[in-house]
Amino acid sequence: MAQLAFLGLGVMGGPMAGHLQKAGHDVTVYNRTASKATAWVDAYAGAMAETPRGAAEGADFVMACVGNDDDLRGVCLGDEGAFAGMKSGAVFVDHTTVSAAVTRELYAAAGDGGVSFVDAPISGGQAGAENAVLSIMCGGDQAAYDAALPVMEVYSKICRRIGESGAGQMTKMCNQIAIAGLVQGLSEALHFADKAGLDGRAVVEVISQGAAGSWQMANRYETMLDDHFEHGFATDWMRKDLGICLSTADETGASLPVTALVDQFYKDVQKMGGGRWDTSSLFKRLQALG
């Protein structure tokens, strides 16, 4: 078993760190709001530290799941950042969805200190974290990935190295691009069924067995029809992720017209007060339009 640190105990990070502790690893946690770290220790045992550096000292692997580029820099860099406390040869695994640019920046900074850095964004939402069935897409050096894989397998159903540093984040962008279009399509289908006087549940029961079927349809159509939009991954976070996608598309020359349109629909949801509603709230937007 390994000595681990886990930085960030939100709806994803908390359960992931818990799985590691339950698997027999020795986990020290850090969270910006200390009360969450205290609650985690009460629930899982393990230990907590007051700084990322304190959590990382002596760890073989340091896992992070925080909010955005600036949050990630904050827990990595500086006198109290994790890199300052990590021993030579340790591996930093970042599960945050951030830009490929900050990933490559931190990959280089870690290397300067004799530390490896793997970008490993996750998909599967809060339920995936709680049930240890996340999908993890990775970038970074093969040796660092191979070393960290047994740790990541504790809370994943699939984990793959896609390529060099930044490749994991680029793959996560593909994931979010695909989700945006799928959720909007499902929302429009349910909205159309309602306006046509059809039973939405009966419609989905039929079409989900054909080419229209998707994870979003199987897992979200009922809650959408029940006006329930509290499933973890918030619209605010989706807009953050789509912003990264669109910015990167400008850099690479990719064309993302549907993604850009759906991003504006999520902006409408925010204006409705739905920043914390989950991504399926695109349906609620259509309902509000009449």
- Kindly list the structural domains of the chain, giving each domain's residue range(s) and its CATH number in brackets, ordered by start: 3-164 (3.40.50.720), 170-289 (1.10.1040.10)
For residue 236, give the 3-state DSSP assignment. Answer: helix
Residues in the chain, pLDDT under 50: none
Which residues neighbour 129 within 8 Å (Cβ) at sequence distance 6 or greater? 11, 12, 13, 14, 15, 16, 122, 155
Q: Are 137 and 94 in contact (CB under 8 A)?
A: no
Q: Are 119 and 101 in contact (CB under 8 A)?
A: no
pLDDT of residue 1: 84
pLDDT digits (tens, 9 = 90+) for 179-212: 999 999 999 999 999 999 999 999 999 999 999 9
pLDDT of residue 243: 96
Catalytic choice (36, 87, 172, 284): 172
Strand locations in the chain, DSSP E?
3-7, 26-30, 47-48, 61-64, 91-94, 116-119, 122-123, 134-139, 156-163
pLDDT of residue 290: 80
Asked if 172 is an active-site residue, the reply is yes
pLDDT of residue 233: 85
User: Is pTM beyond 0.85 here?
Assistant: yes
Distance CA 2, CA 263 (A): 41
Which residues neighbour 210 within 8 Å (Cβ) at sequence distance 6 or greater? none
CA-derived radius of gyration, the chain: 20
Which residues neighbour 23 within 8 Å (Cβ) at sequence distance 6 or greater? 1, 154
> Cα 237 vs. chain centroid, distance in angstroms?
9
Task: List the Cα angle 125/131/135 in 5-degree steps.
Answer: 50
Distance CA 199, CA 196 (A): 9
Q: In which residue are the tokens 């399509």 written? A: 185
Q: Are 13 and 40 in contact (CB under 8 A)?
A: no
